[in-house]
A and B are shown apart, each in its own frame.
Chain A
Amino acid sequence: MEELFGLPTIRLMWIVVAIAGVAAAVIAFIFFKRPILVRMGLRNIPRRRAQTVLVTMGLTLATIIVTIAFSTGDSLAVSIRGLALDSLERIDHFIEPEEIDTSAGEGVGDTIPDQVLRDLQAYFAGDERIDAIFGSRFELVPIEHPEAGLIEPQFFLVGVDPALADRLNAVRDEDGDLLRLTELAPNEVVINEIAARELDAEPGDEVRLYVLGQPRQYTVAAIGRDAVLTGNLDAGAAGGLLSMAQYQDLLGSRLSPPDQWDTILVSGAGGVNAPLQFSDALDDDINRALAGLQRTKPDLYLSNGLPRFATDPIKADSLEGAEFIASAFTTLFLFMGSFSVAAGILLIFLIFAMLAEERKPEMGIARAVGMQRNDLIQTFISEGMVYNVGAAVIGVVLGLLFAVGLIAALNQGFESFGFQFTWTVTIKSLVISACIGIVITFITVVFSSFRASRLNIVAAIRDVPEGQYEETYPLTPRRVLRNVLGVFTTAIGIVLVLTTPWTLILGAPIALFLQLTGNRRARRLIPWILLFGWRVLRWNPQWWVLFLVGGLYLVNLGLGQESLFLYIAGVSLAPLGIVMGLNKLRMRGRRINQRLLYTVGAGVVMFLWFIPNDWHENFFNNNLNGGPELFVLAGTMLTAAGTLLLIFNLDLIVGAIRAVVGGVGRLAPVIRTAAAYPAAARYRTGMTIAMIALITFALVNFSTINASFSQAFTGGDTAGGFEVLAFNTEINETSDIRAGLAEAGASDVLADIENAGRIEAGPERGTRAVTVLAERWNPVSEEHILDSDGEIRVVEPDLSTVAFDKRQAVVVGGVNDEFIAGQEIKLQAISYRYDDERDVWSALAGGEMVAVVTVDAIDGAFGFNESGLDPWSTPDGVTDESTRLPRIVVEVGLGASARQVEVIGVLERVSGAFVDLDGEEGGLPTLLLPESIADQVIGQSETTRHYISTRDGADSLDVAQGIERELRIFAVDIQGELKRQQSTQSSILALFQGFIGIGLVAGLAALGVIALRAVVERRQQIGVLRAIGFQARLVGFELLLEMGFIALLGLGLGTALALGLAWRLFAEGTFGEIDMYVPLGTILPILFGAFIASLVLTYFPARQAARTTIAEALRYE
């Protein structure tokens, strides 16, 4: 991988190495200046083995995640790059017919005249960068392997000059050895690996190619490696190769005019792996050549004033694509993994807090005899850094192991595509991963150390448990003044620090979003401002001011940059800052009720996340945009708010539980204590809940969104009521499936067909259309807007002024009556002139001048322009969410074949997916007309698609195979195909879920940590409980119950937040018209498994608690 987040990875590497260096310098500094502190820190490591293991585990998480992300990225980059090179071999550039239609449906412009090839050869004659410029032809030709009884209607047959191919060493066999095309006998064909697999064919086998229904016999000469020249033109496409002369002979001059090419290929000098440094320049040169030719030979190179041919630097694009996919994956993994990293960080905080608790008496004594707090911090940091370095090494190793497993699992998912990834990792990635791990954990350790070293000396020496010793300061005027000043210094400090962008290296993630202020002189001041700001900030930091001012700053920044991320981060922090500030407030010695404060604060944050995005935008009258990083922010903020809400209301929850189950006889005291302990230890309970909730949130949210998508696109609806879809190709046509099957004598197949619908499709590159009449429309009430004179206003552009290229390209299809009878496609909007869907379809069946359109027509094409000048426009207010349409009349086609039709329905995207003739999301809109009208517009159809519903009880796979066998056209069993896709998809999803789930380890470890701590800390209490009559097993059960309770709270919170957010996103239409689907089958096992795992993990501490000997526990240490 060369780039990530738009940053060269090499620079990324140097940045993280530098920061890791700073961390190392800090340790070295402590070591040389105060070796005793380091020794004190290190002394702790061997003392508690379980603790050491847990700390290391928490610290490894970040490194593991980053390593997996980078290694997967490397593997994908290398594998996809290899695939692209194998497939393209010596081909570097394509020259193809332009992707737009050049004239209305006359079929010209699909091929390239030989003159173009000769012009280009002449232009580049003698250019050293080019080895060859040559033409190739391809066509879909059905192929049959009679001996195996297999047929493949979708077979791309390529024709190419054999001598040229041999000179370029352009074709290889499956083992990668060169194939000599000049040695092919006249009746020999090369087929690619996919074709060989699907036909079960080997070299020497006899196969038949069908042209216009006539078979011709060939011998398989060799199996060629899947590549462009062997017909692997689409992912997973079967194909083969004939010498040009044989190709021409087979197809004849009507199907393959001798002076035409399908593609012109350019082969650069220097071989397959040659550096692509010429690529851009060469592409520019080809474009220049074409531009020149357009001027000198406009008849040949232009059509309706537009260029007919375009160049495509295919190899450079493919390699760039490989890079792109790799870095996209790495980014995705980093985003998804950031939840685990966050959970790991929380675990470290928690463990350090526990360590501090445990060492409190000794730390108290150390402080009492004169050790500074800074010394304690340095001791903790030294200890933490030893774990850190160990964790980085272990993390990288574990991460690599995970990555190997992940690639292996990915390969299983891609098995059916015949493609395998190779696991790789670069040194650069290893260095980055290890350093990022070290940096993240260093920062965490430093923060944890600060918190851990904060202790009340008296309480520490007396070893009073957490939260039971609260100092009450008398409010002297001096103290009040100090705090008021602290508010100002904190605010000034933040502003100083925030306005010096370089400071953000200190770790604030917002660093990425701040730009440098240009002025050089100002820049020199930055470090000083920073240092000054830092000092001011440190004097008496008021965290609430930090949150509030920082939050407001982010809101402002976010609004300025239209960044939803910054805005909502600020909006979430500010209320928490206010609450924290109010929490410090004392009125006549009384503080505001904490429950009230934090409940309101957390409630506000959650409210802000759960309201529609529009509300934020409308409130500030601003536009806010975001990407996947919001997912992470949502998880963090919602979990934080949710945890606060739970923690400060835990007694209510506990009360509710007790009211329900508390009366359960003898368990009452167990339930009571099991609920009371977590409620009393807010910090650790909160941390643990947050960790579990964070990961649960990620898992549930991710699963739900993905399941909703796959449900929508592979669910039963998608097929629109059809079971089998069959395509005609240009050279093998069946316009009437029933007649064809009857003629072939396949009465069994015929008997299984209930309905044989058909769409006669116009050119894929589109037919021009333009709006000629559109009523104005009120989006809210879905009614006309009447002008002051009471007339319905219409937009009627003057068609003569609308240029050809200003007309929208649409794909036109003609539907027959059987199609209309068999379809179950939903309409998302219908014209106000029709009562219901049935009316719309019967208007189509009746051959009226009407059309239904795909949603793309509204999404993209119908962008209404208030001035009314946009010639293809939907009336004001018609959106992709409208359910009613005003009168919209469009003219389709050009000249004599143009017809005006009224758009009376919009097909719903999901159930209409298969009639989207363009097939690409956001591609050309499809217009379905009655067949008779479509015939007038498009003349002869390019292809015919058959939409077949089978009779009840018929096997649709049999029907599809029967059609392929008898008619040699391509047929798919839609449901079967959807299932296959779904299974690949779900195995990949499971993989991602597993990846996200790694973070659960942190949550479970946290449970183990607090359970272990509880056993130690509550020894005497357990003794008392046992003395007054708690049975031994009840003591163990109590702890199990307690940890189970915490686990359930975390799992429940995460699930609730994830479903809540998903619900908001779906309701808001973030994912179009896709409905939310909660995959309980995935979520429940995950939750249940996590819960069981948490119990298993607590079982050991619980057993230890149960075995406590009473008398020993009661003895005062």
Chain B
Amino acid sequence: MTLRPLDLEAESAPQKSAAARAATDSIIVARDVHKTYAGAGQPVHALRGATLDVARGEMVTIMGPSGCGKTTLLNCLSGLETIDQGEIYVEGRSIHDMPDTERTDHRARRMGFIFQFYNLLPVLSSIENVELPLLLGGVGQRESRERAMLALEQVDLGDWAGHRPAQLSGGQRQRVTIARALVNDPAIVWGDEPTGDLDSTNASQIMDLLEDLNDRNQQTFVIVTHDENIGRRANRTIHMRDGLIEGETIHRQLGT
């Protein structure tokens, strides 16, 4: 495990062509991303020029002190939020200047999300929650149902398909969320503290699951966490402070 400072000078050169080139071999390419919130009093600079690349199939964790901009970074990369300055390419497509409808569509087809809370619609059953992305993507009713069931079985919740979120434990809920995040076979799965609300046993079970899925499906995972034990289990951990990426730790090379 080596900690090396990121070569900011070389990577953040504001050359569009270079960035675009990099986008072809990395699934996520972010260059000099700035995000400022108006806030109540003075503006908050949540991101002050974040730059990073994530390779296809990689599992990356983002760590850093509370309020350093992890969630903001994740939201910007996934297109949940617009950015003030900089460039973001996901699968070669520029997220930063895409209209909202297109971004939404992109999320529906190519991405999965796991948040800390409020992941599921309380009024729908597990399987109905899992189906949603498929239905949104225009998959037929029957096929959606079959694929959703498969996804639930993958997370070991085949028997809980008809239950509402309120009838499930926290760990079960997060597993339903994972099933939902994976059901449409996304290229990237985003997780914002997916284990934050769970005890350590449940958390490590969830991580086992994610690791396993990452191994099997070669999907890219970007996960925000503040838990060292979780962070270690990725290929790489990116460290943030004050809206900047401070450095990274490589735990294991991709493909090993």
Contacts and interface: CB of A to CB of B under 8 A. Distances in A.
A669 interface: yes
Interface in B93-148: 100-101, 104-105, 107-109, 112-113, 115-124, 128, 131-133, 135-138, 140-141
A455 interface: no
A652 interface: no
A1028 B117 contact: no
A819 B158 CA distance: 84
Contacts of A1030: 104, 136
A602 to B, nearest CB: 23
B100 A1032 contact: yes
A680 interface: yes
Contacts of B109: 1029
Contacts of B138: 665-666
Chain A contact residues: helix, strand, loop or mixed: helix
A32 interface: no
A663 interface: yes
Contacts of A673: 121, 123-124
A1114 B80 contact: yes
B6 interface: no
Contact of B132 (A468, A1020, A1028): A1028
A676 interface: yes
Contacts of A1024: 113, 115, 118-121
Nearest to B140: A663
Interface string A654-692: 000000001101101100110011011000000000000
A1027 B72 CA distance: 14
Contact of A1023 (B105, B118, B124, B140): B118
B132 A669 contact: yes
A1031 interface: yes
B124 A1116 contact: no
A938 B112 CA distance: 99
B81 interface: yes
Given A468-B122, A1028-B108, A668 B135 contact: yes
Nearest to A1032: B100
A178 to B, nearest CB: 79
B136 A1116 contact: no
B123 A663 contact: no
A465 interface: yes
Nearest to A677: B123
A1110 interface: yes
Contacts of A469: 166
B122 A1029 contact: no
B81 A1110 contact: yes
Interface in A1062-1117: 1109-1111, 1114-1116
A956 B131 CA distance: 71
B36 interface: no
Contacts of B136: 666, 669, 1028-1030
Given A668-B141, A1110-B80, A1028 B107 contact: yes
A668 B72 CA distance: 32
Nearest to B192: A1114
Contacts of A1027: 78, 80, 107, 113, 115
A1110 B111 CA distance: 15
A1026 interface: yes
A1021 B141 contact: no
Interface residues of B, number: 38
Contacts of B192: 1114
A1029 B72 CA distance: 19
A1025 interface: yes
Scoring B105, B120, B121 by chain A CB atoms within 10 A of each residue's CB, the highest score goes to: B121
Contacts of B116: 1116
A672 B81 contact: no
Interface in B208-250: none
A676 B131 CA distance: 14
A1021 B71 CA distance: 18
Given A672-B135, A673-B124, A1114-B118, A1029 B81 contact: no
B116 to A, nearest CB: 7
Nearest to B105: A1029
B117 A1116 contact: yes
Interface in B46-99: 71-72, 75, 78, 80-81
B180 A1028 contact: yes
Given A1027-B113, A1028-B113, A1029-B105, A672 B133 contact: no
Contacts of A680: 122-123
A669 B115 contact: no
Contact of A1032 (B104, B128, B132): B104
Interface string A1017-1049: 000110111111111100000000000000000
A469 B166 CA distance: 8
Contacts of B180: 1028
Nearest to B190: A1027
Given A668-B135, A1028-B113, A1114-B115, A679 B101 contact: no
A361 to B, nearest CB: 16
A1018 to B, nearest CB: 9
A1028 B124 contact: no
Contact of B104 (A1023, A1026, A1111): A1026
A672 B119 CA distance: 17
Nearest to A676: B123
Given A680-B122, A1111-B75, A1031 B135 contact: no
Contacts of B122: 465, 468, 680, 1021
Contact of B128 (A666, A672, A1029): A672
A663 B135 CA distance: 10
Nearest to B139: A668
Nearest to A679: B123
A663 B113 contact: no
Contacts of B117: 1020, 1116
Of B101, B118, B192, the most chain A CB neighbours within 10 A belong to B118
Contacts of B128: 672, 676
Contacts of B78: 1027
Closest 10 CB pairs of A and B: A1029-B108, A1020-B118, A680-B123, A676-B123, A669-B135, A1111-B81, A468-B166, A1029-B136, A668-B135, A1110-B80
10 contacts: A668-B135, A672-B124, A672-B135, A673-B123, A680-B123, A1027-B78, A1027-B107, A1027-B113, A1028-B113, A1115-B71
Interface of B: 71-72, 75, 78, 80-81, 100-101, 104-105, 107-109, 112-113, 115-124, 128, 131-133, 135-138, 140-141, 166, 180, 192
Given A1020-B117, A1025-B132, A1114-B80, 9 more contacts: A672-B132, A672-B135, A1024-B120, A1024-B121, A1025-B121, A1029-B109, A1111-B71, A1111-B81, A1116-B118
